[in-house]
Amino acid sequence: MAQITTGIRSILSMPWAYDALQGMLGVTHARKVVCEDYIRAQPGDVVVDIGCGTAEILKFLPENIRYYGFDLSQHYIDSAKRRFAARGQFQCADVTTMGSSDIPPCQVAIAFGVLHHLDDAAAYGLINSLYDRLAHGGRLITVDPVFVSGQAWVAHELIRRDRGQNVRTCEGYMDLVSERFSAKNIQARHDLLRVPYTYAVMSCTR
């Protein structure tokens, strides 16, 4: 896994520390915007959340969806189960080893903060599996830190120090999906966190 979990960053493996840091940075606001402006899940949708973390995103998704969250961290999955047991199903899994048959057929797939943890081979494999399980007209929404020219120096430095070892440019993220998805777009957003930071929000329709 291309993710640094040692040293000071090991603290983030504790769900409370991870959620607290995200709250301070404004990731809660980012999730709200992404849910409202990009994900736009509809009642009855099956929503697959890859690398769901502690499933905080459920706060901004409709109640009447069927939600499946997958994450590598048993601690995060346990936290999600404690807080959102009635809202979905949560499974500890390494998404790089999941095949299509491990993913429920779905209308919406989310990978919020995941692709930058995966090298190209793992990311291609995951995107292929998700594409295969998306309904026609179904959508994949990804959100990741991105390097763009002209971004604030602080944003660049924060992103450079991320636990994920595969932060890409907008073109790099688009390259991952271009073989399977003909309808896709990407936006670099500098306004989603309280601190200078740049996220790439990519929307792909099957």
Ligand X SMILES: C[S@@+](CC[C@H](N)C(=O)[O-])C[C@H]1O[C@@H](n2cnc3c(N)ncnc32)[C@H](O)[C@@H]1O
Q: Output the smallest distance, CB 112 to ligand X, in A.
A: 4
Q: Output the smallest distance, CB 144 to ligand X, in A.
A: 8
Q: Which span sits near ligand X by CB under 6 A: 67-75, 78-86, 170-178, 185-193?
A: 67-75
Nearest Cα neighbor of 112 from 16, 46, 2, 203 is 203
Cβ atoms of 101 and 128 within 8 Å: the answer is no
Query: What is the SS3 string spanning 42-77?
Result: CCCCEEEEECCCCCHHHHHCCCCCEEEEEECCHHHH
Measured at the alpha carbon of residue 91, what is the angle toward residues 133 and 136, in degrees to the nearest 5?
15
| Among 46, 47, 48, 51, contact with ligand X (rule: CB under 6 A) | 51
Cβ atoms of 106 and 134 within 8 Å: the answer is yes
| Among 61, 80, 95, 123, contact with ligand X (rule: CB under 6 A) | 95
| Among 90, 112, 131, 197, contact with ligand X (rule: CB under 6 A) | 112
Does position 15 interact with ligand X (CB under 6 A)? The reply is: no
Q: Output the smallest distance, CB 145 to ligand X, in A.
A: 9
| Among 15, 41, 61, 71, contact with ligand X (rule: CB under 6 A) | 71
Cβ atoms of 71 and 53 within 8 Å: the answer is yes
DSSP per-residue string spanning 122-156: HHHHHHHHHHHHEEEEEEEEEEEEB--TT--HHHH
| Among 76, 90, 131, 181, contact with ligand X (rule: CB under 6 A) | 76
Does position 12 interact with ligand X (CB under 6 A)? The reply is: no
- Pick between residue 46 and residue 114 the one whose CB is nearest to ligand X: 114
Q: Footprint of ligand X on this chain (CB under 6 A)?
A: 1, 3, 51-53, 56-57, 70-73, 76, 94-96, 112-114, 117
